[in-house]
Amino acid sequence: MMDTTTFIDSAVVGFAKDFVFAKVNGHVDSLLERNVGISGHPTIILFAPDGVEIDRLLGYYPADTFMLELNNYLAGKNTLADYLKRVAAAPQDAQLHYNLAEKYTARSKYADARPHYSKVMELDPENKLGLNDDAMYYLAFLCRKEKDFLKAIEGFRAMIAAYPASELREDAETYIPWLYGEAGDTTQALKYYKEFLVKFPGSKETEWVKEQIQKIEHPEDKTKTE
Amino acid sequence: MIKTALAASLLLVLAAPGVSAAAVQDSIVWAPSYEEGLALAKTTNRNMVVDFFTPT
């Protein structure tokens, strides 16, 4: 998506002349991706000329925030190193812990991220910052990344129970059946995929969920096409 | 009249100090690979931006 928006934006094209730009296809160079700890796509990494990472962006960024964040990184602002310093200086700041946890998550450093997501909830028990549902979601997400599927399901369920109105609820409800499938329990997976379609009839994930149901109910169709 | 004014404005922008030819190129120049990009970054002492993507 950034190819058809951010990377063709005239301001970004002008901005890019001061850098070397390169692309890595995750389907082709998975070894490099593992080496640099890619946790999702797209990930944009800013490297110094000597190849040392300055910092990275995870997810889609429109042109203006793309350039703003890279400029911040070049100025030493909002980087992992910057948040480490800021958290050390203000250890009771839940927002800083959350930002630091995100930095580790983007680097696939889940064990490092976990205590900071937990700290967010500890420091803000009344959820005044509105970050606790996100923190709970990402704690479950980390379990998923570490392939502890049942613990991830437990985490997503706890998040939904605590914050039923969360914007992340629909994503969490999509993960639950998928995680059952990954854990080998297709009966539960099928049950919760079907429940999802009833709970979220207008979801953007509807087609994907229907595909998953089809795969479980008619696994022979997959064999035929392979 | 409006077109003439717009054209004149554009010429002024293009002629302004700090607006190089590269700034008006119409697309990003992508290095052929990560390794070649890294080599180029080292030799030209430029930072490198790498887009790790999966085809959609």
Across-strand partners of A25?
B53
pLDDT at A205: 95
pLDDT at A224: 52
Chain B residues closer than 8 Å to A7 by CB: 28, 51
- A63 within some domain: yes
Separation of alpha carbons A182 and A164, rounded Å: 25
- A159 within some domain: no
Number of domains in chain A: 1
At residue A158, what is the residue type?
Answer: A
Assess A52–B contact: CB distance below 8 Å, yes or no: no
Q: What's the half-sphere exposure (Cβ side, CA atoms, 13 Å) at A201?
A: 1
Separation of alpha carbons A222 and A195, rounded Å: 23
- Are A21 and B27 an interchain contact pair (Cβ–Cβ within 8 Å)? no
Measure CB to CB from residue A44 to each of B23, B41, B51 and give the nearest one. B51
- Are B34 and A29 an interchain contact pair (Cβ–Cβ within 8 Å)? yes
Q: Judge contact between A12 and B28, C-beta under 8 A.
A: yes
pLDDT at A226: 43
Angle subtended by helix axes A186-199 and A169-182, to nearest 10: 160
State how far residue B27 is from chain A, nearest Cα, in angstroms: 6
- Length in residues, chain B: 56
Assess B54–A contact: CB distance below 8 Å, yes or no: yes
- A9 within some domain: yes
pLDDT at A1: 84
Which has the closest alpha carbon to B50: A41, A101, A75, A10? A41
Across-strand partners of B30?
A21
**A164-185 core/surface letters (b: 16 or more CB in 10 A; e: else):** eebebbbebbbbbbbbbbbbeb
pLDDT at A132: 97
Chain B residues closer than 8 Å to A29 by CB: 34
Size of interface A-B (CB pairs under 8 A): 120
Residues of chain A with pLDDT under 50: 225-226
The structural domains of chain B, with segments of one domain joined by +, span 22-50
Residue A43 lies in domain: 2-74
How far is residue A147 CA from its own chain's centroid? 15
pLDDT at A40: 93
- The model carries a pTM of 0.83
Residues of chain B with pLDDT under 50: 1-23
The per-residue pLDDT for range A116-163, each reduced to its tens digit, is: 999 999 999 999 999 999 999 999 999 998 999 999 999 999 999 999
